[in-house]
Structure 1
Amino acid sequence: MTTTPGLRERKKAKTRAAIQRHALRLFQEQGYAATTVDQIAEAAEISPSTFFRYFPTKEDVVLLDSYDPILIEAVRAQPPELSPVAAIRAAIGDVFKRIPADEWEAERERQELIRTVPELRARQMWQYVQGIDLVAGVIAERAGLPADDLAVRAMAGAVVGVSMAAIPHALESSHDLADYGRVDDALALLEAGLPLPG
């Protein structure tokens, strides 16, 4: 069961998105290293202390992935008879086919920035580990099991692992929407028990 966010949560989400939008624009214009938190705060018309209420570090303003909560809600909305992996595949399809071209271009630029800044790349790898907790949470909800159940965590790890393995060039080349087709193919293999050809 999903709930509609309240006015306060919606305002916070809008502020967070605005800060990130200004930050990414400044990073594009003058470079990541040359852009300060003070400059981002000024562009977003907030104080530096307000910036840090939304983002603990400058890295976090880039690494915030607005699609994660949308994907989790989309998984929750899938029919209960779907297996966890089938629900995840359906949710990914539902979300990514609705992304407008301009929004996708902004996401591609964000991923390109992560790819080219070493400290962001390192933090993104840690985010993949944290992603296991996120996926485990929604799998556990659907299965009626605790999120620390070993089978739940193993499945969540498999989902994150095959998704990463599907895009081996993700940290070396530009992000492309077609990559999500490869992720779906990899998840289909996981759903089928990872059979090897031959």
Structure 2
Amino acid sequence: MPDQQTRTSERTGRPPLTERRKAETRLEVARAAVRLFLAKGVAGTSAEEIAAEAGISVRTLWRYFPSKESCVMPLLTGGIEHTAECLRAWRRDQGVSDLLAMLTSGRIGSPGEVVAMMNLVRLARTDPGLRAVWLEAHREAEPAFAEALAHRAGLAEPDLVTAIQAAMINSALRVTVEHHAFNTETPESLAAATAEALVIAAQGLPT
């Protein structure tokens, strides 16, 4: 029989408390890693320092992340996860305008998290380890986008069309964040830039 915590989570649609705590811990580790990477550089920062900054043991850090560079992943995947959730919720009786409304209505993140993400993307431009993590986040996202689009189309699995549509959305998100990070100092305008990019990508989506 499910316990009270599980029943409450099922009713509210929220993840169990332990999962939320894990997510919060991962996010705090990511913030700590960014602070240290900016202050000391990636090469000059150790996993032990990240763990100490986040207030956890090194053993716990390795339980969550396979490398010190991957510690930043939670800060890079917020927009990707939001997009995947919206695509999964996009019904067949809804048009592209409804999808765009869902995509642009969610928060990209707190101002502090957006600034941290912008700094990370800038660092990833010259650090191979961080660049690999950034690209891996998007590589993992694309199949999720494709599966959601295939489900909406009534397909058992993604075909070439839905795979290309997923790649378009994925590329739009990645290019927008990179362009924004490299060309502007105003993180507040990222939401507007993302919305514009999604409108462009949506031109190739089914109505």
Question: Which TM-score applies when normalising by structure 2?
Answer: 0.73
Matching residue within 111, 115, 120 for 1:105: 115
Specify the code of the residue in structure 2 equivalent to 1:70: H
Q: Corresponding residue for 1:91? A: 102
Alignment partner, residue 69 of structure 1 = 81
Letter of the 1:140 counterpart: A
Structure with bigger helix share is 2
- Write the mapping of 1:111-126 to structure 2, written as runs, cut at 5 A: 111-126=121-136
Gaps of 5+ in 1: none
Deviations along 1:97-134, whole A, 9 cap, x unmatched? x6443332233233333234233224423433332112
1:123-162 deviations in Å (ceiling 9; x for gaps): 4234333321121132233333234333221211222234
Describe the shift of the 1:42–1:123 C-alpha distance in structure 2 as closer, same or farther (beyond 3 A). Answer: closer
- Which residue of structure 1 aligns with residue 7 of structure 2? none
Which has the higher mean CA deviation after the structures are superposed, 175-184 or 152-161?
175-184
Question: What's the counterpart of residue 93 of structure 2?
Answer: 81
- Conserved? CA contact 1:140–1:152, under 8 Å: yes
* 1:107-186 map, 5 Å: 107-164=117-174, 169=179, 172-173=182-183, 176-186=187-197
Aligned pair in 2 of structure 1 residues 109, 172: CA closer, same or farther (>3 Å)?
closer
Counterpart contact for 1:112–1:174, Cα < 8 Å: no
Residues 49/135 of structure 1: CA separation in 2 closer, same or farther (3 Å cut): same
Match of residue 19, structure 1, among 26, 29, 35: 29
Q: Offset of 1:13 from its aligned partner?
A: 0.8
1:32-68 per-residue CA deviation (whole Å, 9 max, x = no partner) reads 1111001111222322221111111112112332413
Question: AA paired with 1:69?
Answer: E
Separation of aligned partners in 2, 1:165 and 1:43: 31
Q: What SS class does the counterpart of residue 125 from structure 2 fall into?
A: helix
TM-score, scaled to structure 1: 0.76
Q: Is 2:55 the counterpart of 1:45?
A: yes
The residue type equivalent to 1:21 in the other structure is R
- Write the distance in 2 (CA, Å) between the matches of 1:26 and 1:9: 26
SS at match of 2:155: coil
Contact 2:146 2:162 in 1 (8 A): yes
Q: Residue in 1 aligned with 2:198?
A: 187
Q: Could you tell me which runs of 5 or more consecutive residues in structure 2 were left unpaired when the two chains were aligned.
A: 1-9
